[in-house]
Amino acid sequence: MIENIIAKLLGDFERGFMNRRQLIQSLALAATAAGSGAAYAQEASGQKKGAFDVGHFKAFKTAELDHISFQVKDYRVTRDFYADLMGMEVASDDGQRQCELKFGNSVLLARNHFRPRGGEAQAAAAAPPAGAQGGRGNRPPTTALVDHIAYRVYDWDTDQAKAELIKRGLLKEDAKPDTGNGIPGYSSFHVFDPDGFNLQISGVAGPNDSVNRKK
């Protein structure tokens, strides 16, 4: 609910995770999202004419991201990369095959490729169990994919972020920030993690940030 989102934003501000400007921007985005959600709910309930069937929207209401699961070559390499670069908190590390990497209320689960009885690594996009609703059946191979995961960091400075990523060998000197096709105040860089996942690191660019000075 919007009250929970606002409470979390205020808590982050009080703990110094964001400045006043970022708080105001986040509150504005939350208010906009809440208004859009209310309009959508009104349309789905039949108060407005539209193409949506309310019967399709009764099952669940998503509260927040539970976790992201990565099957990786060596979870320890992934663990150290995200803990060191992104400041994620390591938890539930079994010392052998997996751990949790916590950030905010979310979790990245890094675990070594599954080894079934046959000894071969399980495919990352394995088919659902037999009999499961929505199984592949005779459909063609899946071509859709998650092409990247973006993490937003606080106290963003484009030049400092670029310098840090170059120092770590993750970015080239001539790399340009991704500004989301000109989204005001948006700045980010794409790098690859140890397993080749496209990692986008983003933040809110202030008025004195280089992406704004150059405009």
**What pLDDT does residue 64 have?**
77
User: Do both 79 and 42 map to the same domain?
Assistant: no
**What pLDDT does residue 202 have?**
93
Q: Domain containing 90: what range? A: 68-112
Q: Measure the CA angle with vertex 15, ends 9 and 17; round to 5°.
A: 65
User: Do both 44 and 73 map to the same domain?
Assistant: no
Q: Is residue 118 part of a domain?
A: no
pLDDT digit string, tens, across residues 8-42? 667 666 655 556 666 676 666 656 545 545 544 44
Q: Is residue 48 part of a domain?
A: yes
**What pLDDT does residue 124 have?**
42
Which of 31-45, 123-137, 142-156 has the least mean pLDDT?
123-137
Task: List, as one string, the DSSP characters of the chain.
Answer: -HHHHHHHHHHHHHTTSS-HHHHHHHHHHHHHHHHHHHHHHHHHTTSS--S--GGGG-S----S---EEEEES-HHHHHHHHHHHH-PEEES--SSSEEEEEETTEEEEEEEPP--TTSSPPPTTPPPPTT-TT--TTPPPP------EEEE-SS--HHHHHHHHHHTTSS-TT---B-TTT-TTEEEEEEE-TT--EEEEEEE--TTSHHHHT-
How many other CB atoms are there within 10 angstroms of residue 213's CB atom? 11
User: Do both 35 and 75 map to the same domain?
Assistant: no
Query: Does residue 52 register a pLDDT over 60?
Result: no
Q: Is residue 62 part of a domain?
A: no
User: Do both 159 and 184 map to the same domain?
Assistant: yes
User: Do both 73 and 36 map to the same domain?
Assistant: no
What backbone torsions phi and psi does residue 173 show, to the nearest 5 degrees? -60, -35
Q: Is residue 133 part of a domain?
A: no
pTM for this one?
0.60
User: Do both 77 and 49 map to the same domain?
Assistant: no
Query: Does residue 141 register a pLDDT over 60?
Result: yes
Tell me the mean pLDDT in the region 102-128: 67
Query: Residues 173-177: contacts with CB within 8 Å, 24+ apart?
Result: 177/211
Tell me the mean pLDDT in the region 121-149: 55
CATH number at residue 190: 3.30.720
Query: Does residue 134 register a pLDDT over 60?
Result: no
Q: Is residue 101 part of a domain?
A: yes
Selected residue with higher pLDDT from 38 and 171: 171
CATH number at residue 97: 3.10.180.10
**What pLDDT does residue 65 have?**
82
Query: Does residue 158 register a pLDDT over 70?
Result: yes
Q: Is residue 39 part of a domain?
A: yes
Q: Is residue 135 part of a domain?
A: no
Enumerate residues 6+ apart whose C-beta is below 8 A from 20. Answer: 13
pLDDT digit string, tens, across residues 55-93? 555 576 777 788 898 999 999 999 999 999 999 999 999
**What pLDDT does residue 22 have?**
62
Selected residue with higher pLDDT from 107 and 38: 107
User: Do both 49 and 73 map to the same domain?
Assistant: no
**What pLDDT does residue 201 have?**
95
Query: Does residue 115 register a pLDDT over 90?
Result: no
User: Do both 53 and 75 map to the same domain?
Assistant: no
User: Do both 158 and 205 map to the same domain?
Assistant: yes
Q: Is residue 137 part of a domain?
A: no
User: Do both 154 and 203 map to the same domain?
Assistant: yes
User: Sorting pLDDT into bands at 50, 70 and 90, what band is 122?
Assistant: very low
User: Do both 52 and 99 map to the same domain?
Assistant: no
User: Do both 106 and 159 map to the same domain?
Assistant: no
Query: Does residue 95 register a pLDDT over 80?
Result: yes
Domain count of the fold of the chain:
3
Query: Does residue 102 register a pLDDT over 60?
Result: yes
**What pLDDT does residue 133 have?**
47
